[in-house]
Amino acid sequence: MKKTLIFCTLIVAGILVMSACKKKKEGCTDPISINYDANAESDDGSCAYGGTGGNTTIVAKPQHHGVPIISKIGYVDSAFVKFNAVNSPGTNPSNYDLVLAGEEGEDHVHIEGLKPGKYYIYMTGFDSTIVQRVSGGIPVTLTQSSGEVDMEIPVSE
């Protein structure tokens, strides 16, 4: 009888301990990932990151006080793209993952082949109305997996 009581007590204690153990919520725990889960307690390896190899094109349009900047001979618009970033990595082109030049007479630069993710886009151009180089950038979260996205990038002196 005493053995049965001890055995039953151990079974009940085991059940209580097992039910008290809560499984941690799994998910992506990296805030820079496009599918970050703030409630995840354990990383399950599902994080998805921006970069090339996708099917989306950003049409980046530098704008100075709302006015498009048109590429000129010797002063084509340029786009600098940092993958998986929400803050500016600065003005040095070597800090960026992708550097692209626009075409003369165009008011945009095509940034092709992107996957959904977070990016920082920095642009430079020449504003002929003030005869001065202009530059600036913004963080971008790209959620679509194909198609084209028009994006105005504010630039200033």
pLDDT digits (tens, 9 = 90+) for 79-91: 999 999 999 999 9
* Residue 3: DSSP 8-state: H
Token pair, residue 106, equals 């165009």
The predicted model gives 57-75 an average pLDDT of 95
Assess contact for 28 and 46: CB atoms under 8 A: yes
Token pair, residue 7, equals 């055995």
Assess contact for 106 and 58: CB atoms under 8 A: no
Looking at every residue in the chain, the average pLDDT score rounds to: 90
Q: Which residue has the tokens 């997996």?
A: 145
Token pair, residue 83, equals 């993958």
The count of other CB atoms within 10 Å of the CB of residue 53 is 8
pLDDT tens-place string over residues 17-61: 454 456 788 999 999 999 999 999 999 999 999 999 999 999 999
Among 2.60.40.10, 3.40.50.300, 3.40.50.1100, 3.40.50.80, what is the CATH number of 52-155?
A: 2.60.40.10
Strand ranges across the sheet with 117-127: 98-101, 78-83, 117-127, 132-142
Percent of the chain with pLDDT over 70: 86
Assess contact for 109 and 69: CB atoms under 8 A: no
- Torsional sign, CA 127, 111, 94, 136: positive
